Amino acid sequence: MDAAQLSRLLEQATIARTSQANETAVSLYSALINQTEGQAHDPQVRELRLEALRENGRLQRLLGHQEAALACFQRAYLDAGSGEQAVDTLALLANQHNSMGNYDEAMRACREALQLTEALNYSAGRAAAFQVLGRTYAQRGRPEEAVSNLQKALALFEQIGNRVEISRTYNWIGIGQMEQWHIDKAIEAFHHGLEESAISDVLRSAILNNLGECYQYLFDFEQALAHHRAGLSLIQKLNFTSPQDDLLRNLGVDLYHTGQVEEGIGYLYEALHLSEANGNQDVRLQVLDSLVYAELERDRPDVAMQYAQNLRTEAEKIKARQFEARALYGLGLVYQRLGEAVAAEQVWQQALFLAHETHQQNLIWQLHAGLAQIVGIAPLAETHNRIAAEVIDQIVYPIEDVQLRQKFLAAPTVRAVLDAQPQ
């Protein structure tokens, strides 16, 4: 095929993808890739080949074929003929490694991309590298560094006027703020992301998912449920697995917290199976975490224990410190339910160290509140309760929405800490 024929083939693949004929699109991308094998010396053919590899990789990721997506991006990197092409592909590679839980590989790709952009006048590539570096820090449990890099990406994307990437960057800034429990700033960032009319339904559903999670954190499960249902409705029309897996997880959490325990757990297991099938390690770890609490909710501590231990093992393997902290907190809850206070205290002390390291304010107050219940020494219990109350105050103080603030303060677990304070 000559360049004109290849260009028509790429156009057909784009049309198929736009019309959601995903299998046809994959087939057409693959045909172009096969036709251009070994022809990367021709600049025009190379650019068409790279575009097919990049777009096929993106589509494969959305369809849950993580290894196929990774292979596309790796081939694109090897065939890159310029620094700009290499930077673009390294950003995609880092993003893919993040989805698969390969955080060390993601960090290496980010660093290489940024190093390359130092010698290039290529703002779009530098912005993409900062964006994916921010995502990597967020998923490694380092939210302050995440937001710092994402702000750099945002400034560059605004400079070049890339509205879609501005929205995507706001989404990741919101995640970084949420991880630090700056919930008001997170909500603001997600709303900024949703303001962009040009974004895809995939990105819109992802932002709705995260916005709903903010309300979930504040115990406003009705608002959380509304956002998660809206996001799921969008993504199910496209038959993509991501972010459908995380939307299912969040719906499960919303439902079991509003008393629909069995239905909620059904969604959680659906999310677990989907995240395992599509290789989305980050979502899988979140599902395991959610299942610990859900199984305790229906009084199955033995099952909850299995999920907590599994989460701990997987988190340690990929050095996801924030998930290690959550796993240890979940383990402590199981030990507490089983009446093993000493074991609970031991894992909660470990969790406290990791929670401080990863700036998980919400986890910190819950750990102190839990320790106050089991230490058995009145002055020490009072100290833990006081610290929990102080952290709660730090969380609540910046929230300007009075109704949201009151919703959080009225939650039974929060109320118990505050009621224990001396008047």
Residue with tokens 């890159």: 80
Structure tokens at 229: 């249902």
State the residue range of the domain holding 398.
Answer: 360-423
Residue 278 lies in a domain: no
pLDDT at 180: 82
Q: Give me the pLDDT at residue 40, please.
A: 66
Question: Does residue 28 sit in the same domain as residue 123?
Answer: no
Flag whether 225 is in a domain.
Answer: no
Q: How many CB atoms lie within 10 A of CB 342?
A: 9
List, for the chain, all residue ranges whose pLDDT scores fall below the cut of 70. 40, 423
Query: What is the spatial distance between Cα 98 and Cα 104, in angstroms, rounded to a whole number?
Result: 9
User: Distance between alpha carbon 299 and the CA centroid of its chain, in Å?
Assistant: 29
Structure token pair of residue 55: 């777009």
**DSSP letter for each residue of 401-413:** -HHHHHHHHHSHH
Q: What is the CA radius of gyration of the chain?
A: 23
Tokens of 355: 């929670």
Residue 209 in any domain: the answer is no
Res 316: pLDDT: 95
d(CA 176, CA 155): 17
Question: Which structure tokens are listed for 28?
Answer: 């057409």
Residues in the chain: 423
Q: Are 311 and 326 in contact (CB under 8 A)?
A: yes
Query: Same domain, yes or no, for 59 and 4?
Result: yes
C-alpha 254/C-alpha 314 separation (Å) is 25
Calculate the CA dihedral of residues 185, 186, 189, 195 and round it to 10 degrees: -120
94 with 176, same domain: the answer is yes
Percent helix, strand, coil in the chain, to 5, is 80, 0, 20
Residue 101: left if φ>0, alpha if ψ -120 to 50, beta else—which one? left
Residue 229 DSSP class: H
For residues 98 and 176, membership in a common domain is answered with: yes
C-alpha 411/C-alpha 396 separation (Å) is: 13
Structure tokens given for 407 = 């919703």
Task: Please identify, among 199, 220, 241, the residue that sits at the C-terminal boundary of a domain.
Answer: 199
Closest CA to 336 of 415, 328, 392: 328
Side chain identity at residue 407, one-letter code: K
Residue 24 makes CB contacts below 8 A (sequence gap 6+) with 16
DSSP secondary-structure letter at 360?
-
Distances (CA, A) of 299 to 90, 126, 305, 374: 46, 50, 11, 19
Q: Do the domain assignments include residue 342?
A: no
The CB density around residue 409, as the number of other CB atoms within 10 Å, is 16
CA-based end-to-end distance of the chain: 81
Taking a C-beta distance cutoff of 8 angstroms, is the pair 87, 127 a contact?
Answer: no
Q: What is the CATH number of the domain that holds 142?
A: 1.25.40.10
What's the pTM value of the predicted model, to 2 decimals? 0.85
Rounded to 10°, the helix 22-35/43-62 angle is: 150
Same domain, 153 and 95: yes
Inside any domain, residue 213: no
Distances, alpha carbon 4 to alpha carbons 9, 24, 80, in Å: 9, 20, 21
Residue 204: the pLDDT is 96
Q: Are residues 125 and 159 in the same domain?
A: yes
Shared-domain flag, residues 116 and 180: yes
CA–CA gap between residue 380 and residue 254 (Å, rounded): 34
Tokens of 122: 């290529």
Q: Which of 199, 215, 235 is the last residue of a domain?
A: 199
Whether residues 86 and 58 share a domain: the answer is: no
Residue 150 shares a structural domain with residue 118? yes
Whether residue 192 sits in one domain with residue 86: yes
Could you tell me if 403 and 371 lie in one domain?
Answer: yes
Determine, yes or no, domain membership for 339: no
Say if 255 falls within a structural domain: no
With beta carbons less than 8 A apart as the criterion, state whether 271 and 254 touch: no
Say if residues 167 and 193 touch (Cβ distance below 8 Å).
yes
Count of structural domains within the chain = 3
- 157 with 106, same domain? yes
Task: Indicate whether 101 belongs to any domain.
Answer: yes
CB of 248 closer than 8 Å to CB of 265: no
Residue 210 sits at the vertex; the CA angle it makes with 351 and 214, to the nearest 5 degrees, is 65
Cα 372 from Cα 388, distance rounded (Å): 9
Show the tokens assigned to 321.
Answer: 């410190």
